[in-house]
Amino acid sequence: MVVESTENNVKQAIRVEGLRKVFRKREGFRAKLKEEWALKGVSFQVADGETYGLLGPNGSGKSTLIRILSTLLIADGGEVWLLGMRLPQEEAAIRHLIGRVSVDAAFYKKLSARENLLYAAQLYGLEARTAERRAMEILERLGIESRRFNDPLEEMSRGMQQKIAITRSLLTNPPLLLLDEPTTGLDPKSRRDVQGFLEDHRKENGTTILLTTHDMAEAERLCERIGFLAHGRLVAEGTADELKYQAGSEDLEEAFIGLTGEDIKADEEMGK
């Protein structure tokens, strides 16, 4: 189920309006609570079957936004509609229709890839044999040899672990994928494997993908439209060519700097 836009009858899989999120923390034993706004009224829409990219440095609010859409955080203001359902009112139903991959995907590291994936399948009520067959198909397309399926996660490289995370998110073939910097830290081959797979998967299944990244080349390759996020605000959006034209630049990174006043390669130690 999707929301139908009033403009051109375009079906919207994601509709975010005025989304706000604040974090409060106390600095020092007697200090007052300090407010830090991660999102300051973000609004955007993603069409059914579209890949939409959110670009911004660490600290821009990308991961906070993904966590809200994934039902892991509750917003402090604004509205969110996913596949025709509203958050947080219908979060239980939404969880069964989304797949999420984060830059720091969590696993039971002592267990094998097979054991991790079959455990995830059980949580979604999938039959083990069907889930294992689907997992093997995805892993093969991602370039992981079947003989590694029974290796513990702790013995796998960062790139292989991320491919397992992507496989886990796709076991139920969800209509909506929320990908939070899925290729950060991967070697060039693993990055190409993941990007190529995501391209093919969307074309074959009509999956809607929301992708956060600070990799300009990745955004240009995968995303039909791109939003520039800086200091918790959506500063600009459009196709890569539209954003470059708007900034008077031939390079997407230069366009980002010109339109946001920020460097996409912000301090990696900052919060997301």
Per-residue pLDDT, 6: 41
pLDDT digits (tens, 9 = 90+) for 68-92: 999 999 999 999 999 999 999 999 9
3-class DSSP string for 108-147: CCCCEHHHHHHHHHHHCCCCHHHHHHHHHHHHHHCCCCHH
H or E segment and range at residue 208: strand 208-213
Question: CB neighbours of 241 closer than 8 A, spacing ≥ 6?
Answer: none
- Provide the residue ranges of all domains of the chain, joining segments of one domain with +: 1-97+174-234, 105-173
Q: How confident is the model at residue 64 (pLDDT cuts 50, 70, 90)?
A: very high
DSSP for 50-115, written as a single string: -EEEEE--TTSSHHHHHHHHTTSS--SEEEEEETTEEETTTHHHHHTTEEEE-TT----TTSBHHH
Please indicate whether residue 268 or residue 86 has the higher confidence score (pLDDT).
Answer: 86
Per-residue pLDDT, 77: 96
Beta bridge partners of 81: 15, 86
Note the residue count of the chain: 272
Q: How confident is the model at residue 5 (pLDDT cuts 50, 70, 90)?
A: very low
Task: For residue 142, give the nearest of 171, 112, 163 by alpha carbon.
Answer: 163
Tokens 């999956």 appear where? 207
Angle at 199 between CA 250 and CA 15, to 5 degrees: 80
Class of CATH domain 1-97+174-234: alpha beta
Per-residue pLDDT, 1: 45
Whether the pLDDT of residue 36 is over 60: the answer is yes
Q: How confident is the model at residue 271 (pLDDT cuts 50, 70, 90)?
A: very low
Whether the pLDDT of residue 267 is over 70: the answer is no
Per-residue pLDDT, 139: 87
In angstroms, the CA 81 to CA 222 distance is 23
- Per-residue pLDDT, averaged over 218-231, amounts to 95
Name the least confident of 116-130, 168-182, 218-232: 116-130
pTM of the model as a whole: 0.87
Per-residue pLDDT, 265: 64
* Chain Cα centroid distance, residue 97: 14
pLDDT digits (tens, 9 = 90+) for 128-166: 888 888 888 888 888 888 788 888 988 888 888 888 888
